[in-house]
Amino acid sequence: MSAATTVSIRNLKLALPKGSDRPYAVDDVSFDLQPGKILCVVGESGSGKSMCAHALMGLLPDTIIRQAGEIAYDGQNLLTLDDAGWLALRGRHIAMVFQEPMTALNPLMRIGDQIAEMFEAHNLLTPRQRKQKALQLLREVGLPEPERSVRAYPHQLSGGQRQRAMIAMALALEPAILVADEPTTALDVTTQAQILELIRDLQRRRNMAVMFITHDFGVVSDIADRVVVLQHGKVVEQGAADDVLRRPQHPYTRALLAAVPSMQPPPRTPLADRARAVEVVGLDKTYVSGGGWFQPERRVQAAKQVNFDILQGETVGLVGESGSGKSSVARLVMRLIEPDQGTVRLGDTDFTRISGRALRKERSRIQMIFQDPFASLNPRRKVGNIIADGPIAHGTDPAVARQRAAELLGLVGLNASAMERYPHEFSGGQRQRIGIARALALEPEIIVADEAVSALDVSVQAQVLNLLEDLKARLGLSMLFITHDLRVAAQICDRIAVMQRGGIVELKPTATLFSAPEHPYTRELLAAVPGQISSSRAA
Amino acid sequence: MSKFWRTMLRNPGGVIGLVILLLAIAIAIFGPLLFPTSPWRMVQRPFLPPFTVPGLPLGTDALGRDVLAGIIYGARVSLLVGLVSTMAALAVGIPVGALAGYFGGKVGDALMRFTEFFQTVPSFALAIVLVAILQPSIVSIVLAIAIVSWPPVARLVRGEVLSLRTREYVQAAIVTGQSHSWIIWREILPNALSPVIVLASLMVATAILLESSLSFLGLGDPNLMSWGYMVGAGRTVIRQAWWITLFPGIAILLSVLALNLIGEGLNDALNPRLNKEGR
């Protein structure tokens, strides 16, 4: 610790309430924040990284007991600070940027007023000066048309713009320390790249100490000066970013780094001369909302003239940013929503022209794996029933279906005893395996995976991806794989379709797409993936 | 289930409510065994104050009938009307709400307009009219209360179903080819039930009040002693004989309070996220 230290956290120990899965949320954690440096705190969900941030902001819930340690800032121990002390400190000395800018901003207040509130809370400046300062801050964080944005409500801005406004708020009183809790996780890759750039830039200009919390090693390698790796509330490794990322010492750090999918697509055998499993022709879907007597209706084109096919045994990826229409296409293919126009053919069957009983019967041929493992399983049904329900609905004998469900649980790497348990007793990764078992129970030909690994930690993500790949090969499945993560797509897809504003702009074999992207949007997406340029960054 | 009971029993209000309600149910079931004589029979001089004559601790009313016996028999009527009319209201409201929420569109619109039709009429006035037309009897009272109290159930269930039907597990059920009835019955309704149970406990309380109000106005079943009737009959002599109206009034107050406390407790136990844990 040769450089000056802004904040020093020493042996911090926070106890969880009784009955939790472990005694300490944060166990004997020590690290320092230095001016002009970004410290990344990395860990998987439940590793205690957000607890560190909340301790530093004095936002710990009352149920968490501060057992030992100290947070030293400016000659005082923040852990023993009273409410009045915190009021003077927060915003002025330590500021925070949250994960979800939509919920962190007050929806009923103009952006400019929310920034001005920062000065008001600390009794600084006159109202007129506050307004000017807000405008100046918005200009500094690069919000387009700051004069208009100052008067805008949060919902009138895009996700990236909202996060810029949040950052402007945090910077208003020129704090010495900025705590950023997963500030780019809710954003698209291209926006994420811009926000990271902005944070890096502001932090250099103002010589702030930044504590940046993330689960994404790509982001770490783009932004960090120092890295702290947390596992189960303990620091397993910390050091300079280059050392930790290139020469990881602890096995956990190595495992985490190894689990990050590479941008290099593995070689794949070409699948020519196979029959088509799915053919999608000219799919159109427009959502119309609003539209009354006094206001014009709002139209969003979720799919326009979408054409693609999937060969038997092939995985086709659908990538794009949020709002590009990729999930709508998945739901159109599943017939969870009805297309305005176009055809989805499964083999020889026209899946878009059947209905009622015939549709229910044909549904068994195409199954879906959902994004959120916590929302996709009925909390009030046992796992065995969840898996066996489908086959029973299709006329399988219940005893046979349950027998088969037990086998499927084995196939996805769970114990058959899981049959009698409820979904909440399982972790996210295990739930996703149950979701996969449910999809396989009907012996489908095609699997549609909608962001199936996006909600999982990297190490679990790697396991689930391997499982999917393995099952696909063993059962000869075709797959439509929807993701926003190009690294994941590179690893699992034979071909990738890039979507933008409801249309497919480029559809190519994976290797070709990564080596020779043609469409400018594809190039932009590829360039924005974090963690590719760590070597070229000036340290 | 054990976790449910633990949370429920941690709430002191809920426990008190539960104790009072169990007591009232016990009285309704076993009370008539202890007082085999009809509550309509004249047993002593009229207007006997409480605690003056042994065997008549709550005194007698204007016709010399035992007030305590009246309260005990009244418990039967009040609880029966409360429970049965709530069941009937649920039996109408849940299906209407579930169908409206699940199918939406024209079906939903039609069902909800129908529901709103009932909501536009003041419920107590509608109940009076219904009982007056159908002749006062226990059946017509239950029916009237059920008819005026199902619309809130339908609206609540519709709202829950609307939000549940977009959940991924419901979509998963559609994708695996389940029928509509299965999806509503097995996937959606069990998850929509906790707020309905809470509402139901409060509806029982409202039904008891409604029945009492109807009996107070003389629209009760003429063959059954009820708390509302006792209050109504004693109201004219309240200045000479306060006990005739006070004790049945307390009975109404306690049972309604108990049900409200239980509703609160149920709400805490069934919606764990609103628990007092955290800050």
pLDDT at A263: 85
Q: Is B133 on the interface with A (CB under 8 A)?
A: no
Sign of CA dihedral A128, A129, A132, A138: negative
Q: Is B105 on the interface with A (CB under 8 A)?
A: no
Q: What angle do CA B54, B56, B57 make, to 5 degrees?
A: 90
> For residue B107, what are the domain limits?
29-41+58-274
Interface test with B, best of A337, A362, A378, A392 (most B CBs within 10 A): A378
CB spacing of A435 vs B172 below 8 angstroms: yes
Residue B174 inside a domain? The answer is: yes
Q: Which residues in chain A are contacts of B190 at CB distance < 8 A?
A: 378, 380
pLDDT at A433: 92
Task: For residue B273, name the pLDDT band (cuts at 50, 70, 90).
Answer: low
Give dist(CA A304, CA A328) in Å, integer: 11
Measured between CA atoms, how close is B37 to chain A, in angstroms?
Answer: 50
Residue B264 inside a domain? The answer is: yes
Q: Is the pLDDT of residue B275 over 70?
A: no
Task: For residue B1, name the pLDDT band (cuts at 50, 70, 90).
Answer: low
Residue B47 inside a domain? The answer is: no
CB spacing of B191 vs A378 below 8 angstroms: yes
- Going along A322-432, which residue ranges are E strands? 341-346, 349-350, 366-369
How many C-beta neighbours within 10 Å does residue A8 have?
Answer: 15
3-state secondary structure of A289: strand
Residue B144 inside a domain? The answer is: yes
HEC sequence for A332-346: HHHCCCCCCEEEEEE
Residue B21 inside a domain? The answer is: no
Give dist(CA A211, CA A181) in Å, integer: 8
CATH topology of domain A276-528: Rossmann fold (3.40.50)
Digit-coded pLDDT (tens) for B150-197: 999 999 999 999 999 988 999 999 999 899 999 999 899 988 988 898
How many C-beta neighbours within 10 Å does residue A194 have?
Answer: 18
pLDDT at A268: 82
Measured between CA atoms, how close is A365 to chain B, in angstroms?
Answer: 9
Model-level pTM? 0.82
CB spacing of A364 vs B176 below 8 angstroms: yes
Q: How many residues does chain B have?
A: 279
Tally of structural domains, chain B: 1
Give domain limits for chain A.
Answer: 7-93+176-258, 109-174, 276-528
Interface test with B, best of A389, A447, A482 (most B CBs within 10 A): A389
Give me the helices (H) in A441-494, please: 458-475, 486-492
Q: Is the pLDDT of residue B274 over 70?
A: no
CB spacing of A389 vs B168 below 8 angstroms: no
Give dist(CA B168, CA B170) in Å, integer: 5
What mean pLDDT comes out for the span B193-208? 89
**What CATH number is associated with residue B196?**
1.10.3720.10
Residue among A54, A13, A483, A458 at smallest CA distance from A220: A458
The reply to whether A7-93+176-258 and A276-528 are identical in fold is yes
Instruction: Answer for the pair A53, A179: CB distance below 8 angstroms, yes or no.
Output: yes
Inter-CA distances, B234 with B42, B47, B64, B143, B244, Å:
15, 10, 12, 27, 5
Name the token pair of B234: 């004693």
pLDDT at B233: 87
Digit-coded pLDDT (tens) for B105-132: 899 999 999 999 998 989 899 999 999 9
Name the token pair of B22: 């169990």
pLDDT at A534: 42
Select from 3.30.479.10, 3.40.50.300, 2.130.10.10, 1.25.40.10 the CATH code of A7-93+176-258: 3.40.50.300
| Burial category of A155 from C-beta neighbours within 10 Å (exposed 0-12, middle 13-18, buried 19 and up) | exposed
CB spacing of A368 vs B172 below 8 angstroms: yes
Rounded CA Rg of chain B: 22
Give dist(CA B45, CA B59) in Å, integer: 10
CB spacing of A381 vs B186 below 8 angstroms: yes
CB spacing of B177 vs A376 below 8 angstroms: no
Q: Which residues in chain B are contacts of A363 at CB distance < 8 A?
A: 174-177
Instruction: Answer for the pair A28, B245: CB distance below 8 angstroms, yes or no.
Output: no
Interface of A with B (CB under 8 A): 17, 61-63, 334, 336, 360-361, 363-364, 366-368, 370-372, 375-381, 389-390, 393-394, 435, 438, 441-442
DSSP 8-state symbol, A31: E
Residue B49 inside a domain? The answer is: no
Q: Which residues in chain B are contacts of A395 at CB distance < 8 A?
A: none
Please tell me which residue of chain B has the smallest CA distance to A359. B177
CB spacing of B277 vs A372 below 8 angstroms: no
Q: Which residues in chain A are contacts of B184 at CB distance < 8 A?
A: none
Q: Which residues in chain B are contacts of A438 at CB distance < 8 A?
A: 172, 176
Mean pLDDT per 10-residue interval, chain A, length 539 residues: 74 83 86 92 86 88 84 87 87 88 88 91 89 90 87 86 90 90 85 89 90 90 92 91 90 89 83 85 86 73 91 92 87 91 90 89 92 87 92 92 92 88 87 93 93 85 90 91 91 92 92 92 90 47
Residue in A363, A380, A394 closest to B175 by CB: A363
